[in-house]
Structure 1
């Protein structure tokens, strides 16, 4: 073959080398969606990093195994413990395989120090899923501005908030809704839950429900972490029992994120004496079937809002946080509302019982007041839909891919 023919051959495309880091289960899920979106584009991407099970299933090369599914549910302390061991591995990896961009998802306890290392090595940093400094720990804003080249925000108001604090931020949409769009409820399961989930009934009720009325299905979402489940699930079950006293009867089903968590929840249900069905990894069917939801605080409230279900949010932040809240109030928590749906709406759409340990009698009173008022129920569902619609409409993974390409092209020039 002549030299001229070699000159006419297209040059091999240089891959875009991305280091991606996750430390918790939700971040692993959102990172996997990002990798799938990137691979659907024409450009070649190479991913390696601190991975979880979903990233490894996609073939992302693992620099350090951030944990099994179970360990990724261990919370902040688990992140810090493993993060200290991971940091040394990352430094060595970046020396040998310098990435074009480092993409760090959530977990500021790990990722702000890691971003500082990247800054020292002149590696552009995209931080995806911003630390919620607008609620507490605002001192972190200075650190973020110093070590992060671009911040991809998943809540609409965060973009201006972080820009006002010197951070180059952009709202990309919430990745949760990409995964929810792919989840299809099992209609057979939905019907079975409505008709066959265990009934909690009382003969002492003063409620005047018609005998032919279908008992409402109350879904309990106690979270994914063991300490949260142990704290909240018993309170949710007791709340359901008290609601049954007011309503006459109802059905109860509890969400479990895995078979392992199902075993823990089964123990709690048995100890409570409240009959309940446990639904493993199928919130699409459970929330489609539910008439009302008792949900632990966090992203799960957006999950419930996606299905337009009335809810009460409950969370116990623990003794230390509770003491701090009692002593210092607004100096600890900067927002007038604490649950995510109310924060987004900037109004109290749904009752929230947090951060102090909820009292089941008060929660049951608030929940029953909504459930027995059809007009109020409809108003709550309508407002929830209005609140989440702007977040649903943006394809977060595609937009983050665009930011990665921008950073890779501009390199350190984008640094603050």
Structure 2
């Protein structure tokens, strides 16, 4: 069959690449065309129609500034779909773009599968009507999403979380060897995950690195985002601040703790069993708009949302200060709070189920 896949962010590239591997295992004649990144390229053996680096815009202001580019991409995608007519269109999260494409694809008679639901339970719940009209199969990865869709009379399939697939197959890691390979010193590591977009990374790194004077016994290592060049990070690097690119899982597994910008990385860090403090700060205007449109959501991190309790501390907007970061980071380095958090991470893994999300999703797509 011919599969057309659209992933508009780094996390979508990861999950779509694993889905592609599973599809190939079930359909030896799978023919892919895709929007995504390097991981999907590695599976397909050729590059994307468009790379997600040119698609991802964050926040209300940033979207407004880049509206012309976004609309141009939507127009191009519609033409490309019409010219290539796949058997199935697979949309991976990225709702603002993908829901428009779903409507167009449906008008062409293309089967539409949505893998990894937009967070409609947080905001824009009215978009469920578009899911009803234009999506043939909704495949969700968070346990509570199945009930959310059931409430709206949409049958959704809970396939498990694909991060468990990505993490469960990791080989053992030798911490000393990793440090040697990346020119790190003997001190214990605190990993910094400041996000993936330039404006976000700049803002978050300045805040995260402000705690350094209070943790001289540790070295700080920035996990580089694949969407940004190595040169971008050089201004932050010194004798005790290091940089490692494209090895985030390995870096986390060698770490004592992490400071993590809210997003998929919060869940990745927890599933790798690394204590963390979740950080979030956007422009004042974007944050104030966000507060008004996000409803009935107690937490910002996926870890706390899934567990429906605060098992990782969230420092948001005005609460994200140096003094609060120091206090919370010290807490998860100390034994008692650390042990409690790691016990909660074990419960989190149980709630998400075992590996197999990619295979379960591929089975529905190929044979459903």
The answer, yes or no, to whether TM exceeds 0.5 is yes
Structure 1 CA distance for aligned equivalents of residues 218 and 251 of structure 2: 15
> Does residue 251 in structure 1 map to residue 213 in structure 2?
no
1:66: how far off? 1.6
SS in 2 for 1:58: helix
Aligned to 2:7, which of 3, 15, 22? 22
Unaligned runs of 5+ in 1: 1-15, 199-213, 408-416
The residue matched to 1:291 in structure 2 has which SS? strand
Deviation at 1:292, TM superposition (A): 1.3
Contact 1:23/1:66, CA 8 A, preserved across alignment: no
| Matches of 2:15 and 2:74, distance apart in 1 | 22
CA distance in 2, matches of 1:40, 1:406: 12
Instruction: Note the aligned Cα RMSD (angstroms).
Output: 3.0
CA distance in 2 between counterparts of 1:278 and 1:61 reads 29
SS at match of 1:139: helix
Q: C-alpha displacement at 1:258, in angstroms? A: 3.8
Larger radius of gyration, structure 1 or 2?
1
Report what 2:283 is aligned to: 318
Q: Find out whether 1:132 has 2:116 as its counterpart.
A: no
How does 1:12-411 map onto structure 2 within 5 Å?
Answer: 16-41=1-26, 44-59=29-44, 65-67=49-51, 70-71=53-54, 75=58, 77=63, 83-184=70-171, 186-187=173-174, 189=176, 192=179, 197=184, 216-242=188-214, 244=215, 249-258=217-226, 260-269=228-237, 275-324=240-289, 328=292, 332-356=294-318, 358-372=320-334, 374-391=335-352, 393-406=354-367
- Aligned pair in 2 of structure 1 residues 334, 249: CA closer, same or farther (>3 Å)? same
Distance 1:81 1:155, change over 3 A: farther
TM-score normalised over the length of structure 1: 0.78
Offset from partner CA, 1:332-373 (integer Å, 9 cap, x none): 34211111111111111111012446111112112212322x
**Structure 2 CA distance for partners of 1:79 and 1:23, relative to 1, 3 Å:** farther
* Offset from partner CA, 1:214-241 (integer Å, 9 cap, x none): 9643211112221211111111111243
CA contact (8 A) 2:190 2:257 kept: yes
* Contact 1:301 1:339 (8 Å CA) reproduced: yes
What runs of 5+ residues in structure 2 fail to find an aligned partner?
A: none
How many Å apart are 1:112 and its aligned residue? 0.4
| TM-score relative to the length of structure 2 | 0.87
